[in-house]
């Protein structure tokens, strides 16, 4: 069996009851900065990071409350692939389905191209490849991996230019690095 393409564990999503309290806790404890926040599908999402090269290392999602007897703590575990590597994303898509993954969904977040799916026990995973753009989150449209790399890139750039707050990722990363330096000197 050939080795899988590289995939680095990068962030975790947690369902929480009190987003503000949890933002304060993780910011004070770990020095994480709020990078983006917004509402999507009736949930409040807050993205936090302590790295200028990672849009988020933790995402806090409102809505931990679930029916009696059920537990909803973990939103997802996410793995980063090499930048702009749609070939590896397709490899993981096919391999996960071959191994019994269900609920496969491709998503274009503007700053990443992602696949989300459930493992055989129902845990949600994300594998993603970063794009050359920072896009304010939450933002997403469907991703069709049957499109060529060139079509995916062209569609993404056109969509973010029309609908999103965006910049080249290098500009965004430099801005976050400055915010982190300022926070560390306080």
What pLDDT is stored for residue 66 in this prediction?
A: 64
Q: Give pLDDT tens digits for 133-146.
A: 999 999 999 999 99
Of residues 7 and 44, more confidence is placed in: 44
14-23, 33-42, 62-71: least confident range: 62-71
- Cα–Cα separations (whole angstroms), residue 45 to 63, 101, 139: 10, 25, 11
Residue 1 DSSP label: -
Looking at the DSSP bridge assignments, the partners of residue 44 are: 39
Helix 149-163 crosses helix 86-98 at what angle (to 10 degrees)?
Answer: 110
132: Cβ–Cβ under 8 A, 6 or more apart, which residues?
Answer: 83, 84, 168, 169
Nearest to residue 133, comparing CAs of 116, 104, 156?
156
How many Å apart are CA 178 and CA 101, to the nearest integer? 40
What pLDDT is stored for residue 71 in this prediction?
A: 61
In the chain, the percentage of residues whose pLDDT exceeds 70 is 92
> If DSSP codes are grouped into helix, strand and coil, which group holds residue 25?
helix
> Can you give the pTM of this predicted structure?
0.77
């Amino acid at each position: 069996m050939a080795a899988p393409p590289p995939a680095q564990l990068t962030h975790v999503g947690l369902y929480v009851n009190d987003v503000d309290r949890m933002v304060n806790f993780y910011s004070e404890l770990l020095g994480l900065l709020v990078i983006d926040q917004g509402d999507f599908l009736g949930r409040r999402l807050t993205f936090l990071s302590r790295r200028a090269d990672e849009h988020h290392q933790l995402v806090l999602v409102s809505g931990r409350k679930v029916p009696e007897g059920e537990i909803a703590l973990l939103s997802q575990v996410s793995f980063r692939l090499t930048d702009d590597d749609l070939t590896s994303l397709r490899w993981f898509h096919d391999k996960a389905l071959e191994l019994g993954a269900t609920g496969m969904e491709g998503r274009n977040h503007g700053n990443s191209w992602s696949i989300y799916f459930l493992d055989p026990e129902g845990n949600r995973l994300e594998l993603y490849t970063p794009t050359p753009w920072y896009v304010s989150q939450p933002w997403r449209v469907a991703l069709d991996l049957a499109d060529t790399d060139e079509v995916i890139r062209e569609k993404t750039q056109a969509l973010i230019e029309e609908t999103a707050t965006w910049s080249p990722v290098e500009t965004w990363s430099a801005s976050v690095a400055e915010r982190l330096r300022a926070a560390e000197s306080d």
